[in-house]
Structures are given as C-alpha cells and as structure tokens.
Structure 1
Amino acid sequence: MQLQLPEPSADALSASRSLQALIADEIQRHSGWISFSRFMELALYAPGLGYYSGGAAKLGKDGDFTTAPEITPLFGQTLAQVVAAVLDQTDAQIIEFGAGTGKLAHDLLRELTTMGVHISAYGIVELSGELRERQQLTLIDFPQAVWLERMPEAFSGLIIGNEVLDAMPVHLVVKAQDGWKERGVGYENGKFVYQDRPCESWMVKQIPHPDILPPGYLTEVHPVATGFMKSVADALCAGYKHSGNGGALMMIDYGFPAHEYYLPQRNQGTLMCHYRHHAHPDPFYFPGLQDITAHVDFTAMARAGLETGLDLLAYMNQAAFLLSAGLGDVLLRTSPVESLHYLPQANAVQKLTSPAEMGELFKVLVMGKNIGLPDSIIRSDRSGRL
C-alpha cells in the first residue's frame, strides 16, 4: 500500500536515513533479524535519532498527535480533585512519566495550588530533549517541578502516566499453521521487512485461549510495559516500607482488558503509527519521524502490579473516571450564559467523554499501597472486567 502522507523536510529525511542505517546495521550484526520490540525501541528511543530522543515537535498542531491535556485544562483540573485526596495519604509528591509539553503538570499544579494542596516536589521523567525544553518553559512558574533521570528506588506519592504505556516497545506474535511465531524485522534490498521465527513460550502465556485463535492471527505482547509496572510497584512498596506512608499509580491510556484485546476478530493487532496527525499501520515509514504505538493490555498491567505487591484500587473508562471526579462541576465554573467561553469547553468535554471519541477507548487504572480513593471513584470501579 502506497501511503499518501506529507513529505518530510530535507533535514528530517536525513535524520531518518541515519536512523535507518543504524537499525540496518543492528540487524546485520544479529544475523539478519531483530525482534520487532528492538526495532520499535530504536525507532522511538535511539539516542539523538529516535522519535522521542530526537528534536522534532511531537505534540500539538505542529506535531503528530494531540493528548487530552492539550485539548483542555479541564482534564488536569478534574484529575486534581482525585490527586488531592491521594496526596493527603502520601509524602505529598508526584512523579509524571512522559509529561508531553508539561500541560498536564501545569494544570494539576495550578489547580492544586488553588485548592491549597501542598506539593513538595513534582518530578518529571522525560526521554525527549525537545519535550523537556517545552516542559521547562511551561512550568517556569512552578519551582516544585524537577526533572529526573530515572524513577527513585523508594517513593511515597502519586505516579502518573498519561499515554505512556502505549509507546513502550512490544513484541509481535503470529499464529502459523504449525504454531505461534515471533514476527521480527529483517533488511532486504534496502528495505525493512517482516520475518517470522519460532516463538518463545512465554510470549503466548498472556493471551487468553490462544488455541482457539485462527491461523494468521497477529497481535502484540507487552513485556516492556509489564516490566515498567513492576519497577514502579517496587518503588511504591519500598516507599511505604521506608516511610509508612502510602503511594499510588495512575495510568491513563487507550486499550482493553485481555479478554477484549485478544478477540478473534481483532486479528491484525492494534499497532498504529502517527505522523503529522495522520494514523496509518506502517512502522517502517520514515523511522524516527513518526510515533509507533500499540493499545495497552490492562489485564497484564494490573497483574504485574498485583504480583509486585500493589492493590488494585480502580479501573474504568475515561468518561466514567472524569465524570466521577467532578468534570461536570469543573465545567460549570464557566456559566453556560457565557457562550463564547462555555461552548468550546463543552465541546472539549464531549471529546473527552463521548464513546465515539476518547471516553470509552481510554481507560484509567489506579493501583496503590495503603491508599484509599474517594467514594465517587469507588462507585464507578469496573475492575471486575479485568
């Protein structure tokens, strides 16, 4: 299929070709084959050349995609109502992974300050130099904001990740006539190509009822994301042991529980690429210039947290979470009579909560140690669906 997408600039094209050469060399050094996870890791995070580690704009009208905090400050203001209740049970600090332009951090800090909630530190772990610079400008008025190279070994507070898990490298597996194979990447005649090899048994273990899936079924498995969840859970458990105060993890992303993720009809997986606000399925298109994502298996994420010692506090779609957190009340801070200001915000609420937009596909997973959530959130919990 020939993609009809905007042409990159000469500098961008040069950077992409450098990354292609780096990946091709990696393939050659590994006997002509690397896992798709390794390809995705290099395409997104290769130092200086990967999509997130290079210098191109990622978010907003000049980037490739838009996130909820970019749509409206109502998103962060509403999250702050739950964040405040959580922080009261911790060491009153936040760490955000992959903070984008810093818009969510800005809106949270501003709202929490208005509420009189003290935050000792707002740490940001960011791999993109371009985004870090934008974050530092966005948060210039908030001295609590600090940038971290990695997650601390022990932490009591709230950890937030908005659209973070979907950008973690995935392995591809495909069911052949003679069993499951791992779909990796080779390099032939100057192009990246898919190549299948025998599959390690652990890759299929998180797929419910793999035997009933038809030949040709292609999907993703998520060891990097589950490893991340376990590392964060370790830090929260260590923080509780060290300080006696609780800690929580809030992950917001698009995805499904396992029994919906691995449906027979979802037979080509969920892998998707984003380039200049165009979505398409080809990860080999100009590596380094486009985002590559996969939907999140929230059952696997919850299981990883539980196995490491966290409690499953809540799971629901984004619409239910925001409405339970008071999105309607936050919207009504602007009078409907002031239509010039109210209508754009009402339209943003529609985008955040409509099942046809972000309301159903996006989910919120909250896990923690020695933490209680507001009753309004507990009443909307659907963790039984995991």
Structure 2
Amino acid sequence: MASTSVPAGSPGGLLQIIQRSILGAGGWLPFDRFMALALYAPGLGYYANAGRKFGAMPEGGSDFVTAPELSPLFGRALAVQVADMLEHTGTDEVLEFGAGTGALAAQLLEHLGNRVRRYTIVDLSAELRARQQARLAMHAGRLHWADALPAQIDGVLVGNEVLDAMPVQLLHRLGGQWHERGVVLQGDALAWDDRPTALRPPIDIPGPHDYLTEIHPQGQAFVRTLAGHVRRGAALLVDYGFPEAEYYHPQRSTGTLMCHQAHRADADPLADLGAKDITAHVDFSGIAVAAQDAGWDVLGYASQARFLINCGLPALMEAAPLAQRAMAHRLIAEHEMGELFKVLALSRGVEPWDAPGFARGDRSHTL
C-alpha cells in the first residue's frame, strides 16, 4: 500500500538514477537499495558529494557532529584501548573505516605514536578522502588509503559511526501481517509502498499493534566479511544503538530510521535526496551474534560513557581547559552521547583478554 508521495525536489541526477532503478526493479525498490543510492551513488549520494556534513555547528554548513569533532579527548581516550589491542594482538597496524574528516585518525596517530607503523583508511568517498589527506598530511609516511579490504589483515580495526550508515531493510507489521517497505514512483514523485514478506525481525514483537522497524543484514554481513580477512586482530565499533531486547521493544513501534540535515532531525528519507544523512540505530545483538558465528570473540560491550571513563577520560578532562571539559562532558552525559552510544569490542586469532575499556560496566550479558 502506498503512502503520501513526496515531490521530487532533489538533485536531478540522483533522482533520475533512483527512478531508473525503480523501473528496472519492476516498479518497486526495496528500501535498502534506495538507501544505498541516496547515500553512496558516485558523485551524487550524500556521502559521495561535496557537502560539508561533519561539524560542530550548522553555520559552517555541516549536518551533524561526531565525537572526534566534538572533543579531541575522545580519540585520546580511545587510544588507550587501541594501544591495549595492538599489544595483545602483537600487531602495529590500525585500519579505520569511514574516517570522515580524519579527526579520529589524527587523534589516534598523535597519541599512539610509534606503536602504529601503518594506518590504513578504508573509505569509499573520494571527496572525503581528499579532505583526510589534507588534514593528515603531517602523518603521510604512515598513512595508506584503500577502497577495499586487504586480503589479509593483522591489526586493529576501528569504526566510529560506520554501522549506522549501512543500508537497512524496513519491515512494517500492518493489521497483523508483516510487509517489507519499498519505494515506488507516483508520477515524478517518490512514495512508500509496503508488500507482504516472509522476512521477520529477529525476535517476536508482542502485541497486535502496527509496528515499523529495521533489520540489518548488511551490518551483519560486514562483520562476517571482516572475519574472512582478519588473521590476527581486534575490532572496536562505536555507534548509537541497543541490544535486541531494547531495539525491538513493543513500544518502539515507529523504528529508529532518521535523517540529519543542518543539525536538525527528520524522518523523511524520500525528500532532499543527497542533501541529508539517512541512518538507523544499530542492533548490537545482531552484530555480536553474526561476529561470533564468523569466528570473532566478544571482548566487551558497554555504554560510551562507561567505556571512556574506564579509558581515563575524567583525568584527561581535569587537565584540559574549561571549554574543552564542557565539550568532552557531552561524550559521557546520559542525555547526550554517553548512554545512547555503545562500544563493542571483538578479537580474532588471539586468546580473549580483559580489555581496560570494559573493566567496569560491561554489558555483554545483555546482548
């Protein structure tokens, strides 16, 4: 069933690509394929065009802020856990996925020093790669860029707000029957259309009420793919999300899909194509189970606040100027990033150990 259509006021090239994709798919495009085009179509998708995207304030043309842009103390605290992972895996390479402006890379390279022989950034965006190269010029001797995974990896993998940008499938329980939500054309406009499906959320949703949610096959495929390349290493994934019992709570009946533009949020991904981010929260249980099935061990899972406190953020804040302390506090405040963001740590090819970032407040039992 189709919902209200949205006038197509987006860049013509991207709209035309999506229109052709809808027609080529028989008139109905699953949402995950729409999301992939809206975010990653070469030169036109949100992460592939020249928009600013990252920054602390909308006045600079940015759409949202990430932890490394908010405070340099984020990377400095994260470096404590990354150093521990390098030591326990006996490796000297860091691979970062989706490095954005290069802020986190700069922070880790500065504070890890000669522990890192090689720092590889895996990023599909040529435009962001150019910004990263400019920002990280002083570290050029240790930097390498790749648009695909190396065949074999020995090292520590870092992904800050990577999983939330991976396309998701939308499921809609309507009148007791599950549908997959896709995108269709109504004239020259885009519209929702729900079709019956055999797909289901990973757990039953109690109650007869209508329910919209997401499933994450691409995020789960990502950690499985990594396992096929990592011989000896560890991974640190930071993102906003929940374990599945919270993610698929009966009261979360409208899902988590959200768009970000000029530091404002909305729930309409069909409008302003290529001009705003489209994102969904992470089902960390699904990611952890897929990782374990592929041969990863779970080292820990904690709120960002607890993880950063374990890694020494309070002492770093105490030594910082007042303005820096105020910004860093947003990293751990419950009503800001502290509780919504989580940290999941994995290891492969080595015996699991007690990682310092999860010394207190580990929530692995909730996954």
Q: Which residue of 2 aligns with 1:86?
A: 85
Matched, 1:77 2:76: yes
Q: Which runs of 5+ in 2 are unaligned?
A: none
Matched, 1:349 2:344: no
Q: Which of 54, 64, 77 pairs up with 1:59?
A: 54
Q: Which residue of 2 aligns with 1:268?
A: 254
Amino acid at match of 1:76: G
Cα distance, 1:372 vs structure 2: 2.4
Structure 1 residues 375 and 150, CA, compared in 2 at 3 Å: closer, same or farther?
same
Structure 1 residues 103 and 384, CA, compared in 2 at 3 Å: closer, same or farther?
same
Q: How far apart in 2 are the matches of 1:29 and 1:71?
A: 42
Structure 1 residues 145 and 373, CA, compared in 2 at 3 Å: closer, same or farther?
farther
Equivalent position SS for 1:56: coil
Q: How far apart in 1 are the matches of 2:357 and 2:36?
A: 39
Matched, 1:33 2:32: no
Q: How far apart in 1 are the matches of 2:341 and 2:360?
A: 19
Q: Which residue of 1 aligns with 2:353?
A: 372
Cα distance, 1:153 vs structure 2: 2.6
Equivalent position SS for 1:260: helix
Matched, 1:324 2:322: no
Question: What is the 5 A alignment of 1:119-134?
Answer: 119-134=116-131
Equivalent position SS for 2:338: coil
Contact 1:214-1:264 within 8 A present in 2 as well: no
Contact 2:301-2:358 within 8 A present in 1 as well: no
Q: Which residue of 2 aligns with 1:154?
A: 152
Contact 2:63-2:276 within 8 A present in 1 as well: yes
TM-score normalised by L of structure 1: 0.88
Q: How far apart in 1 are the matches of 2:72 and 2:147?
A: 27
Moved over 6 A (4+): none
Deviations 1:164-213 (A, max 9, x none): 0000000000112252110111010221111111213xx3151x223x24
Q: How far apart in 1 are the matches of 2:354 and 2:162?
A: 23
Larger mean CA deviation between 275-284 and 365-374 belongs to 365-374
Structure 1 residues 375 and 26, CA, compared in 2 at 3 Å: closer, same or farther?
closer
Cα distance, 1:47 vs structure 2: 1.3
Contact 1:86-1:373 within 8 A present in 2 as well: no
Contact 1:171-1:222 within 8 A present in 2 as well: yes
Cα distance, 1:288 vs structure 2: 0.9
Q: How far apart in 1 are the matches of 2:79 and 2:234?
A: 14
Structure in which a larger fraction of residues adopt strand: 2
Q: Which residue of 1 aligns with 2:138?
A: 141
Cα distance, 1:374 vs structure 2: 3.5
Contact 1:57-1:130 within 8 A present in 2 as well: no
Q: Which residue of 2 aligns with 1:360?
A: 339
Compute the RMSD of aligned alpha carbons: 1.7
Deviations 1:224-277 (A, max 9, x none): 1110011112222xx13xxxxxx1111000000000001111101000001111
Q: Which runs of 5+ in 1 are unaligned?
A: 3-12, 241-246, 335-341
Q: Which residue of 2 aligns with 1:185?
A: 183
- Size of the aligned set, in residue pairs, is 353
Cα distance, 1:25 vs structure 2: 1.3
